Structure 1
Amino acid sequence: MKRILVVEDEPSIVTLIKFNLEQAGFFVLTAEDGNTGLQLAVDEKPDLIVLDIMLPGMDGIEICKALRQEKNMTPIVMLTARDDELDKVLGLELGADDYLTKPFSPRELIARIKAVLRRTKQDDKPEIENRMTIGELTIDTEKYEVALRGKPLELTPKEFELLIFLANHQGKVLSRDQLLNGVWDFEYDGDTRIVDVHVSHLREKIEDDTKQPKYIKTIRGFGYKMEGP
Protein backbone atom coordinates (compact mmCIF):
# COMPACT_ATOMS: atom_id res chain seq x y z
CA MET A 1 0.00 0.00 0.00
CA LYS A 2 1.41 3.38 -1.04
CA ARG A 3 1.92 5.89 1.79
CA ILE A 4 0.93 9.51 1.17
CA LEU A 5 1.93 12.36 3.47
CA VAL A 6 -0.50 15.28 3.39
CA VAL A 7 0.92 18.55 4.77
CA GLU A 8 -2.01 20.98 4.99
CA ASP A 9 -3.17 23.36 7.75
CA GLU A 10 -6.89 23.56 6.87
CA PRO A 11 -8.66 20.73 8.77
CA SER A 12 -11.57 20.51 6.31
CA ILE A 13 -9.20 20.04 3.39
CA VAL A 14 -7.15 17.48 5.32
CA THR A 15 -10.33 15.51 6.07
CA LEU A 16 -11.45 15.65 2.44
CA ILE A 17 -8.09 14.58 1.04
CA LYS A 18 -7.55 11.86 3.65
CA PHE A 19 -10.99 10.32 3.11
CA ASN A 20 -10.68 10.21 -0.67
CA LEU A 21 -7.11 8.92 -0.67
CA GLU A 22 -8.03 6.14 1.74
CA GLN A 23 -11.01 5.26 -0.46
CA ALA A 24 -8.56 5.03 -3.37
CA GLY A 25 -6.44 2.53 -1.44
CA PHE A 26 -3.67 4.74 -0.02
CA PHE A 27 -2.36 4.90 3.55
CA VAL A 28 -2.41 8.54 4.67
CA LEU A 29 -0.18 10.44 7.11
CA THR A 30 -1.01 14.06 7.95
CA ALA A 31 0.72 17.14 9.34
CA GLU A 32 -0.78 20.59 9.95
CA ASP A 33 2.41 22.66 10.04
CA GLY A 34 5.60 22.82 8.03
CA ASN A 35 8.06 21.70 10.68
CA THR A 36 6.06 18.57 11.50
CA GLY A 37 5.58 17.89 7.80
CA LEU A 38 9.31 18.05 7.10
CA GLN A 39 10.08 15.76 10.04
CA LEU A 40 7.50 13.20 8.89
CA ALA A 41 8.82 13.37 5.34
CA VAL A 42 12.28 12.46 6.59
CA ASP A 43 11.31 9.92 9.27
CA GLU A 44 8.38 8.13 7.63
CA LYS A 45 9.72 8.06 4.06
CA PRO A 46 6.31 8.31 2.32
CA ASP A 47 5.89 7.37 -1.32
CA LEU A 48 4.55 10.85 -2.14
CA ILE A 49 3.92 14.17 -0.40
CA VAL A 50 0.89 16.42 -0.95
CA LEU A 51 2.30 19.76 0.17
CA ASP A 52 0.45 23.02 0.71
CA ILE A 53 2.50 26.16 0.05
CA MET A 54 0.99 28.36 2.77
CA LEU A 55 1.74 26.68 6.12
CA PRO A 56 2.50 27.70 9.72
CA GLY A 57 6.22 27.48 10.44
CA MET A 58 8.10 26.43 7.33
CA ASP A 59 6.13 27.01 4.16
CA GLY A 60 5.82 24.47 1.36
CA ILE A 61 8.52 26.09 -0.79
CA GLU A 62 11.00 25.89 2.10
CA ILE A 63 10.12 22.24 2.76
CA CYS A 64 10.52 21.33 -0.90
CA LYS A 65 13.87 23.11 -1.05
CA ALA A 66 15.12 21.47 2.16
CA LEU A 67 14.21 17.98 0.94
CA ARG A 68 15.81 18.40 -2.48
CA GLN A 69 18.98 19.88 -1.00
CA GLU A 70 19.32 16.69 1.04
CA LYS A 71 18.83 14.63 -2.16
CA ASN A 72 15.44 13.45 -0.90
CA MET A 73 13.62 12.80 -4.17
CA THR A 74 10.22 11.82 -2.72
CA PRO A 75 7.63 12.94 -5.31
CA ILE A 76 5.79 16.15 -4.34
CA VAL A 77 2.42 17.48 -5.48
CA MET A 78 2.09 21.10 -4.34
CA LEU A 79 -1.17 22.86 -3.41
CA THR A 80 -1.91 26.56 -3.13
CA ALA A 81 -4.91 28.83 -2.74
CA ARG A 82 -3.30 31.35 -5.09
CA ASP A 83 -3.22 30.99 -8.86
CA ASP A 84 0.15 32.71 -8.91
CA GLU A 85 2.50 32.16 -11.86
CA LEU A 86 5.57 32.91 -9.72
CA ASP A 87 4.57 30.31 -7.14
CA LYS A 88 4.11 27.71 -9.87
CA VAL A 89 7.46 28.38 -11.51
CA LEU A 90 9.30 28.49 -8.17
CA GLY A 91 7.71 25.33 -6.82
CA LEU A 92 8.43 23.34 -9.97
CA GLU A 93 11.93 24.76 -10.28
CA LEU A 94 12.77 23.57 -6.77
CA GLY A 95 11.78 20.05 -7.67
CA ALA A 96 8.03 19.63 -7.18
CA ASP A 97 6.55 17.06 -9.55
CA ASP A 98 3.09 18.53 -10.05
CA TYR A 99 0.93 21.46 -8.98
CA LEU A 100 -2.74 22.03 -8.15
CA THR A 101 -4.52 25.28 -7.38
CA LYS A 102 -7.38 25.31 -4.86
CA PRO A 103 -10.23 24.60 -5.22
CA PHE A 104 -9.60 21.22 -6.83
CA SER A 105 -11.60 18.03 -7.07
CA PRO A 106 -10.44 14.99 -5.07
CA ARG A 107 -10.68 12.98 -8.31
CA GLU A 108 -8.23 15.32 -10.03
CA LEU A 109 -5.80 15.14 -7.09
CA ILE A 110 -5.91 11.34 -7.07
CA ALA A 111 -5.34 11.24 -10.83
CA ARG A 112 -2.32 13.52 -10.48
CA ILE A 113 -0.93 11.46 -7.60
CA LYS A 114 -1.26 8.23 -9.56
CA ALA A 115 0.36 9.81 -12.62
CA VAL A 116 3.32 11.08 -10.57
CA LEU A 117 3.76 7.71 -8.86
CA ARG A 118 3.77 5.94 -12.24
CA ARG A 119 6.25 8.42 -13.64
CA THR A 120 8.67 8.18 -10.73
CA LYS A 121 8.57 4.41 -10.28
CA GLN A 122 12.14 3.33 -10.91
CA ASP A 123 11.24 -0.02 -12.42
CA ASP A 124 9.20 1.69 -15.12
CA LYS A 125 12.00 3.95 -16.28
CA PRO A 126 13.77 2.99 -19.48
CA GLU A 127 17.32 1.74 -19.28
CA ILE A 128 19.80 4.58 -19.79
CA GLU A 129 23.54 4.83 -19.46
CA ASN A 130 24.71 5.64 -15.95
CA ARG A 131 27.38 7.96 -17.26
CA MET A 132 27.33 10.20 -20.31
CA THR A 133 29.91 12.59 -21.73
CA ILE A 134 28.93 15.41 -24.07
CA GLY A 135 31.80 17.71 -24.92
CA GLU A 136 33.23 18.81 -21.57
CA LEU A 137 30.07 17.83 -19.70
CA THR A 138 29.99 14.62 -17.66
CA ILE A 139 26.59 13.38 -16.45
CA ASP A 140 26.21 10.60 -13.89
CA THR A 141 22.54 9.60 -13.87
CA GLU A 142 22.95 7.17 -10.98
CA LYS A 143 24.61 9.63 -8.60
CA TYR A 144 22.65 12.66 -9.85
CA GLU A 145 25.93 14.47 -10.53
CA VAL A 146 26.98 16.77 -13.37
CA ALA A 147 30.46 18.17 -13.93
CA LEU A 148 31.85 20.69 -16.42
CA ARG A 149 35.55 20.21 -17.13
CA GLY A 150 35.70 18.11 -13.97
CA LYS A 151 34.11 20.79 -11.77
CA PRO A 152 30.82 19.68 -10.10
CA LEU A 153 27.73 21.74 -10.93
CA GLU A 154 24.80 22.37 -8.59
CA LEU A 155 21.58 21.66 -10.50
CA THR A 156 18.04 21.57 -9.17
CA PRO A 157 16.25 18.22 -9.64
CA LYS A 158 14.21 19.57 -12.57
CA GLU A 159 17.29 21.08 -14.21
CA PHE A 160 18.96 17.68 -13.93
CA GLU A 161 15.93 15.86 -15.39
CA LEU A 162 15.76 18.39 -18.23
CA LEU A 163 19.46 17.91 -18.96
CA ILE A 164 19.07 14.11 -19.00
CA PHE A 165 16.06 14.30 -21.30
CA LEU A 166 17.91 16.56 -23.72
CA ALA A 167 21.04 14.38 -23.53
CA ASN A 168 19.07 11.21 -24.23
CA HIS A 169 17.72 12.91 -27.38
CA GLN A 170 21.04 14.44 -28.40
CA GLY A 171 20.93 15.89 -31.90
CA LYS A 172 17.13 15.79 -32.06
CA VAL A 173 15.04 18.96 -32.15
CA LEU A 174 12.47 18.89 -29.31
CA SER A 175 9.46 21.17 -29.10
CA ARG A 176 8.55 22.90 -25.85
CA ASP A 177 5.50 20.65 -25.58
CA GLN A 178 7.69 17.55 -25.97
CA LEU A 179 10.00 18.79 -23.24
CA LEU A 180 7.08 19.70 -20.99
CA ASN A 181 5.52 16.27 -21.38
CA GLY A 182 8.83 14.44 -21.20
CA VAL A 183 10.17 16.13 -18.08
CA TRP A 184 7.01 17.18 -16.22
CA ASP A 185 4.59 14.67 -17.78
CA PHE A 186 1.57 16.95 -17.44
CA GLU A 187 0.09 19.97 -19.15
CA TYR A 188 1.11 23.10 -17.31
CA ASP A 189 -2.08 25.07 -18.00
CA GLY A 190 -1.08 25.04 -21.68
CA ASP A 191 1.83 27.34 -20.81
CA THR A 192 5.29 26.26 -21.95
CA ARG A 193 7.14 29.19 -20.37
CA ILE A 194 8.25 26.89 -17.56
CA VAL A 195 10.43 25.11 -20.13
CA ASP A 196 12.10 28.36 -21.20
CA VAL A 197 12.75 29.29 -17.55
CA HIS A 198 14.49 25.99 -16.85
CA VAL A 199 16.48 26.04 -20.10
CA SER A 200 17.66 29.55 -19.25
CA HIS A 201 18.76 28.53 -15.75
CA LEU A 202 20.42 25.37 -17.05
CA ARG A 203 22.35 27.33 -19.66
CA GLU A 204 23.66 29.68 -16.99
CA LYS A 205 25.27 26.67 -15.31
CA ILE A 206 26.61 24.65 -18.26
CA GLU A 207 27.36 27.25 -20.94
CA ASP A 208 30.40 29.52 -21.06
CA ASP A 209 28.41 32.04 -23.10
CA THR A 210 24.61 31.91 -22.79
CA LYS A 211 24.21 34.16 -25.86
CA GLN A 212 26.13 31.66 -27.99
CA PRO A 213 25.40 28.33 -26.30
CA LYS A 214 27.47 25.28 -27.27
CA TYR A 215 25.23 22.61 -25.77
CA ILE A 216 21.57 23.67 -25.77
CA LYS A 217 20.70 25.34 -29.06
CA THR A 218 17.48 27.29 -29.63
CA ILE A 219 15.61 26.26 -32.76
CA ARG A 220 13.65 29.42 -33.41
CA GLY A 221 9.91 28.94 -33.63
CA PHE A 222 10.06 25.32 -32.47
CA GLY A 223 12.12 24.43 -29.42
CA TYR A 224 15.57 23.23 -28.40
CA LYS A 225 18.28 20.78 -29.41
CA MET A 226 21.23 19.46 -27.44
CA GLU A 227 24.47 18.71 -29.20
CA GLY A 228 28.16 18.51 -28.42
CA PRO A 229 30.33 21.55 -29.10
Structure 2
Amino acid sequence: MAVTILIVCGDKTAITAYAGLFNKKEYSVFSAQSGRQALAQAKARRFDAIVVDVSGSRINCKNVCHRIKSETSAPMLAITAPNAKLDAALAFAAVVPKPVSGKKLAARVKAAIENKPPRLFKIGALALDLEKRKLTRGSKTFSLTPKEFVLLRFFVSKAGQIVTRKTLMKEIWETEYLGDTRTLDVHIRWLREKIEDKPSEPARLQTVRGQGYRFTI
Protein backbone atom coordinates (compact mmCIF):
# COMPACT_ATOMS: atom_id res chain seq x y z
CA MET A 1 0.00 0.00 0.00
CA ALA A 2 1.34 3.42 -0.98
CA VAL A 3 2.42 5.87 1.72
CA THR A 4 0.06 8.86 1.68
CA ILE A 5 1.71 12.26 2.08
CA LEU A 6 0.40 15.82 2.22
CA ILE A 7 2.77 18.58 1.08
CA VAL A 8 1.91 22.06 2.35
CA CYS A 9 3.62 24.92 0.54
CA GLY A 10 2.52 28.30 -0.75
CA ASP A 11 4.57 27.95 -3.93
CA LYS A 12 2.97 25.80 -6.65
CA THR A 13 6.29 25.32 -8.46
CA ALA A 14 7.95 24.11 -5.26
CA ILE A 15 5.08 21.69 -4.60
CA THR A 16 5.59 20.15 -8.03
CA ALA A 17 9.31 19.84 -7.34
CA TYR A 18 8.78 18.20 -3.94
CA ALA A 19 6.16 15.81 -5.30
CA GLY A 20 8.60 14.78 -8.02
CA LEU A 21 11.09 13.66 -5.38
CA PHE A 22 8.86 10.77 -4.33
CA ASN A 23 8.59 7.47 -6.17
CA LYS A 24 5.01 7.32 -7.49
CA LYS A 25 4.87 3.55 -6.95
CA GLU A 26 5.61 3.93 -3.25
CA TYR A 27 3.99 7.27 -2.42
CA SER A 28 0.64 8.91 -3.03
CA VAL A 29 1.20 12.66 -2.81
CA PHE A 30 -1.43 15.32 -2.15
CA SER A 31 -0.79 19.05 -1.87
CA ALA A 32 -2.14 22.25 -0.36
CA GLN A 33 -1.13 25.83 -1.16
CA SER A 34 -2.91 27.49 1.75
CA GLY A 35 -3.76 26.84 5.36
CA ARG A 36 -7.42 26.43 4.46
CA GLN A 37 -6.61 23.81 1.82
CA ALA A 38 -4.27 21.97 4.20
CA LEU A 39 -6.90 21.81 6.93
CA ALA A 40 -9.54 20.61 4.48
CA GLN A 41 -7.20 17.87 3.24
CA ALA A 42 -6.36 16.79 6.80
CA LYS A 43 -10.07 16.48 7.56
CA ALA A 44 -10.88 14.66 4.31
CA ARG A 45 -8.41 11.77 4.42
CA ARG A 46 -5.88 9.95 6.56
CA PHE A 47 -2.25 10.83 5.88
CA ASP A 48 0.81 8.86 6.91
CA ALA A 49 2.93 12.02 7.03
CA ILE A 50 2.64 15.75 6.39
CA VAL A 51 5.49 17.83 4.96
CA VAL A 52 5.34 21.60 5.49
CA ASP A 53 7.63 24.08 3.74
CA VAL A 54 8.14 26.75 6.39
CA SER A 55 10.86 28.61 4.51
CA GLY A 56 8.48 31.01 2.77
CA SER A 57 6.07 33.59 4.17
CA ARG A 58 2.98 32.70 2.15
CA ILE A 59 1.50 30.47 4.85
CA ASN A 60 1.05 31.23 8.55
CA CYS A 61 3.04 28.18 9.62
CA LYS A 62 2.30 28.33 13.33
CA ASN A 63 -1.44 28.66 12.86
CA VAL A 64 -1.60 26.03 10.13
CA CYS A 65 0.46 23.45 12.02
CA HIS A 66 -1.53 23.81 15.23
CA ARG A 67 -4.81 23.44 13.37
CA ILE A 68 -3.64 20.44 11.35
CA LYS A 69 -2.42 18.73 14.53
CA SER A 70 -5.90 19.08 15.96
CA GLU A 71 -7.19 16.97 13.07
CA THR A 72 -4.55 14.27 12.66
CA SER A 73 -1.82 12.41 14.51
CA ALA A 74 0.30 12.02 11.36
CA PRO A 75 3.93 13.03 11.94
CA MET A 76 4.73 16.48 10.59
CA LEU A 77 8.05 17.33 8.95
CA ALA A 78 9.41 20.80 8.19
CA ILE A 79 11.39 21.90 5.16
CA THR A 80 13.39 24.95 6.19
CA ALA A 81 15.89 27.47 4.92
CA PRO A 82 19.48 26.64 5.94
CA ASN A 83 20.20 27.40 9.63
CA ALA A 84 16.60 28.47 10.24
CA LYS A 85 15.28 28.46 13.82
CA LEU A 86 11.89 26.88 14.47
CA ASP A 87 9.38 27.31 17.27
CA ALA A 88 9.93 24.29 19.53
CA ALA A 89 6.22 24.27 20.39
CA LEU A 90 5.45 23.05 16.86
CA ALA A 91 7.23 19.77 17.69
CA PHE A 92 8.10 18.65 14.17
CA ALA A 93 9.00 14.98 13.81
CA ALA A 94 11.93 15.97 11.59
CA VAL A 95 13.49 19.06 10.05
CA VAL A 96 14.89 18.94 6.51
CA PRO A 97 17.00 21.99 5.57
CA LYS A 98 17.28 23.08 1.95
CA PRO A 99 18.54 22.04 -0.53
CA VAL A 100 16.29 19.00 -0.39
CA SER A 101 17.12 15.74 -2.16
CA GLY A 102 14.58 13.03 -2.84
CA LYS A 103 16.66 10.44 -1.02
CA LYS A 104 17.02 12.58 2.10
CA LEU A 105 13.37 13.65 2.23
CA ALA A 106 12.05 10.12 1.64
CA ALA A 107 14.36 8.77 4.35
CA ARG A 108 13.16 11.38 6.86
CA VAL A 109 9.51 10.68 6.02
CA LYS A 110 10.01 6.93 6.41
CA ALA A 111 11.77 7.37 9.76
CA ALA A 112 9.06 9.72 11.04
CA ILE A 113 6.34 7.22 10.16
CA GLU A 114 8.21 4.31 11.76
CA ASN A 115 8.80 6.35 14.94
CA LYS A 116 5.25 7.65 15.13
CA PRO A 117 3.87 7.31 18.66
CA PRO A 118 0.98 4.89 19.20
CA ARG A 119 -2.50 6.19 18.43
CA LEU A 120 -3.54 5.69 22.04
CA PHE A 121 -1.55 7.98 24.33
CA LYS A 122 -1.59 7.29 28.06
CA ILE A 123 -1.64 10.30 30.38
CA GLY A 124 -1.54 8.81 33.84
CA ALA A 125 -5.02 7.37 34.40
CA LEU A 126 -6.27 8.98 31.19
CA ALA A 127 -6.09 7.61 27.64
CA LEU A 128 -6.12 9.95 24.65
CA ASP A 129 -6.94 8.69 21.16
CA LEU A 130 -4.83 10.97 18.97
CA GLU A 131 -6.67 10.17 15.74
CA LYS A 132 -10.26 10.25 16.95
CA ARG A 133 -9.75 13.05 19.52
CA LYS A 134 -11.40 10.97 22.23
CA LEU A 135 -10.44 10.92 25.89
CA THR A 136 -11.11 7.98 28.19
CA ARG A 137 -11.26 8.39 31.96
CA GLY A 138 -12.21 5.22 33.76
CA SER A 139 -15.33 3.84 32.08
CA LYS A 140 -16.23 7.16 30.47
CA THR A 141 -15.22 8.31 26.99
CA PHE A 142 -15.43 11.93 25.88
CA SER A 143 -15.10 13.57 22.47
CA LEU A 144 -12.80 16.58 22.52
CA THR A 145 -13.35 19.67 20.42
CA PRO A 146 -10.35 20.70 18.27
CA LYS A 147 -9.50 23.48 20.72
CA GLU A 148 -9.84 21.20 23.78
CA PHE A 149 -7.59 18.67 22.05
CA VAL A 150 -4.88 21.23 21.30
CA LEU A 151 -5.18 22.70 24.80
CA LEU A 152 -4.79 19.29 26.47
CA ARG A 153 -1.82 18.35 24.30
CA PHE A 154 -0.18 21.66 25.17
CA PHE A 155 -0.70 21.09 28.90
CA VAL A 156 0.71 17.56 28.58
CA SER A 157 3.82 18.94 26.84
CA LYS A 158 4.29 21.31 29.79
CA ALA A 159 3.39 18.79 32.53
CA GLY A 160 4.62 19.86 35.96
CA GLN A 161 5.31 23.42 34.79
CA ILE A 162 3.30 26.55 35.52
CA VAL A 163 1.68 27.81 32.31
CA THR A 164 0.50 31.41 32.41
CA ARG A 165 -2.78 32.62 30.97
CA LYS A 166 -0.79 34.90 28.69
CA THR A 167 1.09 31.91 27.29
CA LEU A 168 -2.15 30.00 26.67
CA MET A 169 -3.78 32.94 24.89
CA LYS A 170 -0.68 33.39 22.75
CA GLU A 171 -0.04 29.73 21.92
CA ILE A 172 -3.59 28.37 21.64
CA TRP A 173 -5.64 31.40 20.60
CA GLU A 174 -2.76 33.24 18.93
CA THR A 175 -3.41 36.57 20.57
CA GLU A 176 -1.67 38.60 23.25
CA TYR A 177 -4.83 40.50 24.12
CA LEU A 178 -5.78 39.73 27.71
CA GLY A 179 -8.69 42.13 28.05
CA ASP A 180 -11.21 39.32 27.69
CA THR A 181 -10.14 35.78 28.56
CA ARG A 182 -13.60 34.34 29.10
CA THR A 183 -13.09 31.87 26.26
CA LEU A 184 -10.03 30.51 28.10
CA ASP A 185 -12.02 30.18 31.33
CA VAL A 186 -14.77 28.30 29.50
CA HIS A 187 -12.35 25.88 27.83
CA ILE A 188 -10.54 25.22 31.11
CA ARG A 189 -13.89 24.40 32.71
CA TRP A 190 -14.90 22.12 29.82
CA LEU A 191 -11.55 20.35 29.92
CA ARG A 192 -11.75 19.80 33.67
CA GLU A 193 -15.22 18.29 33.28
CA LYS A 194 -13.61 15.62 31.09
CA ILE A 195 -10.27 14.96 32.76
CA GLU A 196 -11.12 15.41 36.44
CA ASP A 197 -12.90 12.95 38.73
CA LYS A 198 -14.18 15.99 40.66
CA PRO A 199 -14.08 19.06 38.38
CA SER A 200 -14.86 21.36 41.31
CA GLU A 201 -11.74 20.04 43.08
CA PRO A 202 -9.26 19.64 40.20
CA ALA A 203 -6.30 17.37 40.86
CA ARG A 204 -4.84 17.12 37.35
CA LEU A 205 -5.29 20.67 36.04
CA GLN A 206 -4.77 22.97 38.99
CA THR A 207 -4.98 26.74 39.21
CA VAL A 208 -1.83 28.37 40.55
CA ARG A 209 -3.17 31.57 42.05
CA GLY A 210 -1.79 34.70 40.42
CA GLN A 211 0.33 32.70 37.96
CA GLY A 212 -1.68 30.33 35.77
CA TYR A 213 -2.17 26.57 35.65
CA ARG A 214 -0.17 23.42 36.30
CA PHE A 215 -0.99 20.05 34.70
CA THR A 216 0.00 16.99 36.72
CA ILE A 217 0.19 13.51 35.23
Contact preservation (8 Å) 1:41, 1:49: no
The alpha-carbon distance between structure 1 residues 29 and 48, as it changes in their structure 2 partners (threshold 3 A), is same
Post-superposition shift, 1:115?
0.7
Find out whether 1:36 has 2:32 as its counterpart.
Answer: no
Post-superposition shift, 1:83?
2.9
- Candidates 156, 162, 171, aligned match of 1:204: 162
2-structure distance, mates of 1:155, 1:131: 10
- In structure 1, list runs of 5 or more residues that go unmatched: 133-138, 163-197, 210-214, 217-227
Post-superposition shift, 1:32?
2.1
> 1:115-137, CA deviations, whole angstroms, 9 ceiling, x for partnerless residues?
110011638x9xx8x462xxxxx
Find out whether 1:122 has 2:124 as its counterpart.
Answer: no
Secondary structure of the residue aligned to 1:120 is: coil
Contact preservation (8 Å) 2:53, 2:78: yes
> 1:27-50, CA deviations, whole angstroms, 9 ceiling, x for partnerless residues?
001122222122112212322111
The alpha-carbon distance between structure 1 residues 9 and 24, as it changes in their structure 2 partners (threshold 3 A), is farther
> 1:137-168, CA deviations, whole angstroms, 9 ceiling, x for partnerless residues?
xx523357699xxxx994446x63x6xxxxxx
TM-score by length of 1: 0.53
Contact preservation (8 Å) 1:75, 1:117: yes
Corresponding residue pairs, total: 154
2-structure distance, mates of 1:106, 1:21: 6
Partner residue, 1:142: 128
Find out whether 1:8 has 2:9 as its counterpart.
Answer: yes
1-structure distance, mates of 2:90, 2:52: 13
Find out whether 1:19 has 2:20 as its counterpart.
Answer: yes
Q: Percent identity?
A: 18
Contact preservation (8 Å) 2:128, 2:136: no
Secondary structure of the residue aligned to 1:141 is: strand
The alpha-carbon distance between structure 1 residues 143 and 26, as it changes in their structure 2 partners (threshold 3 A), is closer
Post-superposition shift, 1:102?
2.0
The alpha-carbon distance between structure 1 residues 104 and 46, as it changes in their structure 2 partners (threshold 3 A), is same
1-structure distance, mates of 2:30, 2:40: 12
- In structure 2, list runs of 5 or more residues that go unmatched: 138-147, 164-204, 210-214
Contact preservation (8 Å) 1:64, 1:96: no
Partner residue, 1:64: 65
Secondary structure of the residue aligned to 2:96 is: strand
RMSD: 3.8
Greater helix share, structure number: 1
Secondary structure of the residue aligned to 1:22 is: coil
Could you tell me which amino acid in structure 2 is paired with residue 114 of structure 1? K
Partner residue, 1:47: 48
Partner residue, 1:102: 98
